[in-house]
A and B are shown apart, each in its own frame.
Chain A
Amino acid sequence: MRHAFEIGGIETEVWLARDGDAYRLHGDAGEARVALNQRGAEAVLDLDGLTEKALVVLDGETIHVHVAGGNYTLRHLDPARRFADGDASGGADVARAPMPGTVVRIDVAAGQKVATGDPLVVIESMKLETTIRAWHDGIVADIHVAAGQSFDRDALLVTLAAEAA
């Protein structure tokens, strides 16, 4: 079966075939005879006879690799979900956290009418205070965070809805 990984932001399709005591790499990244000898996180990659030390840790669908002097994060793209439309918010009208941080202040209440540019939520990440403002006229449908709460990147902050007629 063909699999795909996100490598440096680019979807890269790969598959392997058995090749004696090693494997044959096929796909978007080129062809090579490859083997990986792993002992815990320590690994030795053999690519067409050239061996190189690496550090490899799997964390769910994420593969963390240190090789060739750099740290890389690769994502195994689930074959079943790969071609599905991946809008996790279901098309909802939401503001997500641009970075992990803490909620400084909530300036609105659910149900409140807002105009474009009105401050909704003030978040803080390290030394930076950012005001999330209404991106269109409407009403605040939901506030997903509370003052003082910390959140990760991409967390839902506020949902807006079009003003009821």
Chain B
Amino acid sequence: MSALPFDTLLIANRGEIALRIIRTAKRLGLRTVVVAHEADHGSPATAAADVVVPIHGKTGVAAYLDGAQIIEAARKTGAGAIHPGYGFLSENAGFARAVAEAGIRFVGPTPEAIDLMGDKVRARAFVAKNGFPVAPSAIEDDDPATFAARARALGAPLLVKPSAGGGGKGMRIVRDMALLDQEIAQARSEGERYFGDGRLYVERFVEQPRHIEVQVMGDAHGTVIHLGERECSVQRRFQKIVEETPSPALSADERRRICEAAAGIARAAGYRNAGTVEFIYGRGEFYFLEMNTRLQVEHPVTEEVTGVDLVEAQLRVAAGERLAFAQEDIRASGHSIELRVYAESAARGFTPTTGSVLALRLPSGEGVRVDVGIAEGQRVTTNFDPMLAKLIVHAPDRDEAIRRARRALAGFALLGCETNIGFLDRLIADSAFAAGVVHTGWLDANPALAADPEIAPDLRARLAAIAALATRAIRDGADAVPTLHAAMGGWRN
């Protein structure tokens, strides 16, 4: 390992991931620049970065999607590399090209790899052609006129997805074929709005599927290795809530097969950078779902068990270095779980919540890591994704990891905006989670878990006491009525 050929890194992102990238960049001796929309003033990333460049846009999201503005910020601050994080411009081939044309290193894959994997239809065809498993499907582009008929022919249940999609946006399950046309129309509308692309494809939906994905890492010299799998089957509306490694679902043989398939797919694509190959797994079978050509939200669980800093590996690969480790150097130890802390109300159908962060206390202790994107005093709005922080635990085994996670959740205080922290605790305390049998439809099938539990009498007494004692008018009222004790000198409070 040598010194990096750039001394300044610009982070084109916000929230917890911006802070997490800054942490590694600083450790490597880099000067850090973060771009920030005004809604993010006072965020932990802006506090941690050496330089903050304001960016503007009609909306907060538009500012972070404005590649020209971000490249200009990199030029102005002398940044030799841009790390896009996840979301926003991280899988935008045009941006990757523009960064390279500006003489700046893009901390990511080649634009060709982004193009290939960003189009789900091309990606699936590529994976199938290379002999890796994909689910039966119908692609609109093959013949738009017969699309609905071909979809119908696959039989229910079906999953309708935008070709250009990701992150669950616009995806719809169709169990009743009478609703197919309606669901296609809605998915198309969402695809057009989110991705500017209304093309769709439909595939067989695997009932009670498990979401297993594999972390891969490739360099510019043709080496691709995998860093094991992650299971992300705890989902609501196709959005992940809890991720862990190793997966409790896989046998040793299945683990080897799925990890080798992932590395093989990435190798066939000549992939460089950190990437994630996602699979649907059920009844011993697995199908390729998609490949994300970026650092993943849930990358920390892989870091915890392997000891590899994936952001450092990304920066070194972007600098043209060879991977510092071979496949046989990657050894996973223990079990790691990540819990996503969202500003949302589980009891109200996981709808987003807003508010101001009036007090924030983060848990700590052995095996506890918190990647946080907000600070006290910040407002939580619907401008951005509702994820506020990630709690990551690492322990010798899964049971201990669950215990540590529950202890850490109990110490996670966030006041002023409703979050899913209490729900996360109910979730990982559930016997189905403990048994490792959760599939991606499990939460929808167990809505009772999302409901706010009744407050037990002893807790109600404590809350009532705090409420009464913290309310000036109630204390004053009590103080104005001197008791025998008060008359004897107990006036002060």
Known: A64-B416, A125-B352. A55 touches B470 (CB 8 A): no
Beta-carbon contact of B474 and A68 below 8 Å: no
Cα distance, A32 to B454, chains bound together (Å): 21
Q: Contacts of A63 on B, CB cut-off 8 Å?
A: 466-467, 470-471
Closest beta carbon of chain B to A110's beta carbon, Å: 25
Closest beta carbon of chain A to B358's beta carbon, Å: 4
Q: Please tell me which one of the listed residues A43, A125, A127, A152 contacts residue B466 in the complex, with CB atoms under 8 A apart.
A: A43
Beta-carbon contact of A16 and B474 below 8 Å: yes
Binding site for B on A (CB under 8 A): 1, 3, 5, 7-10, 12, 14-21, 23, 25, 27-30, 32, 34-36, 38, 41, 43, 45, 47, 52, 54-59, 63-74, 76, 98-102, 104, 125-129, 150, 152-153
Q: Contacts of B412 on A, CB cut-off 8 Å?
A: 71
B23 touches A (CB below 8 Å): no
Interface size class of B (residues with CB under 8 A): 35 or more
Known: A3-B473, A104-B193. A8 touches B466 (CB 8 A): no
Q: Contacts of B471 on A, CB cut-off 8 Å?
A: 3, 58, 63, 76
B237 touches A (CB below 8 Å): yes
Q: Contacts of A7 on B, CB cut-off 8 Å?
A: 455, 460, 463-464, 467
Beta-carbon contact of B416 and A66 below 8 Å: no
Q: Please tell me which one of the listed residues B354, B413, B468 contacts residue A15 in the complex, with CB atoms under 8 A apart.
A: B468
Of B186, B385, B411, B467, most buried by chain A (CB within 10 Å of CB) is: B467
Beta-carbon contact of A34 and B474 below 8 Å: no
Beta-carbon contact of B482 and A67 below 8 Å: no
Beta-carbon contact of A69 and B410 below 8 Å: yes
Cα distance, A85 to B466, chains bound together (Å): 28
Closest beta carbon of chain A to B100's beta carbon, Å: 31
B452 touches A (CB below 8 Å): yes
Closest beta carbon of chain A to B183's beta carbon, Å: 12
Cα distance, A25 to B468, chains bound together (Å): 8
Closest beta carbon of chain A to B391's beta carbon, Å: 14
Cα distance, A59 to B468, chains bound together (Å): 14
Beta-carbon contact of A59 and B358 below 8 Å: yes
Beta-carbon contact of A8 and B470 below 8 Å: no
Fill in one digit per residue for B152-169: 1 if any A CB lies within 8 Å of its CB, else 0.
000000000000000111
Beta-carbon contact of B382 and A36 below 8 Å: no
Q: Contacts of B136 on A, CB cut-off 8 Å?
A: none
Using CB atoms, name the residue of chain A closest to B472.
Answer: A58
**Could you list some 24 contacts between A and B, CB below 8 A?**
A1-B473, A3-B473, A5-B468, A7-B464, A15-B474, A16-B468, A17-B483, A19-B485, A19-B490, A20-B485, A20-B488, A20-B490, A35-B469, A38-B470, A58-B470, A63-B466, A64-B359, A64-B416, A66-B415, A67-B459, A73-B418, A99-B351, A99-B352, A127-B170
Q: Please tell me which one of the listed residues B237, B418, B425 contacts residue A127 in the complex, with CB atoms under 8 A apart.
A: B237
Known: A18-B482, A57-B358, A127-B169. A36 touches B469 (CB 8 A): yes
B189 touches A (CB below 8 Å): yes
Using CB atoms, name the residue of chain B closest to A41.
Answer: B359
Total A-B residue contacts, Cβ distance less than 8 Å: 210
Using CB atoms, name the residue of chain B closest to A50.
Answer: B462
Binding site for A on B (CB under 8 A): 167-170, 186, 189-190, 193, 237, 239, 348-349, 351-354, 356, 358-359, 361, 381-383, 385-386, 409-416, 418-419, 421-422, 425, 452, 454-455, 457, 459-471, 473-475, 477-479, 481-483, 485-486, 488, 490, 492-493
Beta-carbon contact of A127 and B483 below 8 Å: no
Q: Please tell me which one of the listed residues A16, A56, A57, A65 contacts residue B478 in the complex, with CB atoms under 8 A apart.
A: A16
Q: Contacts of A12 on B, CB cut-off 8 Å?
A: 460, 464
Beta-carbon contact of B462 and A45 below 8 Å: yes
Using CB atoms, name the residue of chain B closest to A124.
Answer: B193
Beta-carbon contact of A98 and B351 below 8 Å: yes
Closest beta carbon of chain A to B486's beta carbon, Å: 5
Cα distance, A150 to B330, chains bound together (Å): 47
Closest beta carbon of chain B to A66's beta carbon, Å: 4
Cα distance, A58 to B351, chains bound together (Å): 24
Beta-carbon contact of A65 and B490 below 8 Å: no
Beta-carbon contact of B469 and A55 below 8 Å: no
Beta-carbon contact of A27 and B358 below 8 Å: no
Q: Contacts of B475 on A, CB cut-off 8 Å?
A: 16, 23
Known: A58-B470, A65-B415. A17 touches B478 (CB 8 A): yes
Known: A55-B361, A69-B411, A126-B382. A3 touches B468 (CB 8 A): yes
Cα distance, A23 to B383, chains bound together (Å): 45
Using CB atoms, name the residue of chain B closest to A36.
Answer: B469
Cα distance, A126 to B387, chains bound together (Å): 11
Beta-carbon contact of B353 and A127 below 8 Å: no
Using CB atoms, name the residue of chain B closest to A28.
Answer: B464
Cα distance, A104 to B194, chains bound together (Å): 12
Beta-carbon contact of A34 and B413 below 8 Å: no
Beta-carbon contact of B474 and A71 below 8 Å: no
Q: Contacts of A21 on B, CB cut-off 8 Å?
A: 485, 490, 492-493
Known: A19-B485, A127-B239, A129-B189. A65 touches B352 (CB 8 A): no
Beta-carbon contact of A100 and B382 below 8 Å: yes
Beta-carbon contact of B168 and A127 below 8 Å: yes
Cα distance, A74 to B470, chains bound together (Å): 11
Using CB atoms, name the residue of chain B closest to A30.
Answer: B461
Beta-carbon contact of A69 and B409 below 8 Å: yes
Using CB atoms, name the residue of chain B closest to A29.
Answer: B464
Closest beta carbon of chain A to B237's beta carbon, Å: 6
Beta-carbon contact of B348 and A57 below 8 Å: no
Using CB atoms, name the residue of chain A closest to B382.
Answer: A100
Cα distance, A63 to B471, chains bound together (Å): 9
Beta-carbon contact of A102 and B477 below 8 Å: no
Known: A18-B490, A67-B462. A76 touches B467 (CB 8 A): yes
Beta-carbon contact of B468 and A14 below 8 Å: yes
Closest beta carbon of chain A to B291's beta carbon, Å: 21
Cα distance, A10 to B353, chains bound together (Å): 21
Q: Contacts of A70 on B, CB cut-off 8 Å?
A: 410, 421-422, 459
Q: Contacts of B385 on A, CB cut-off 8 Å?
A: 126
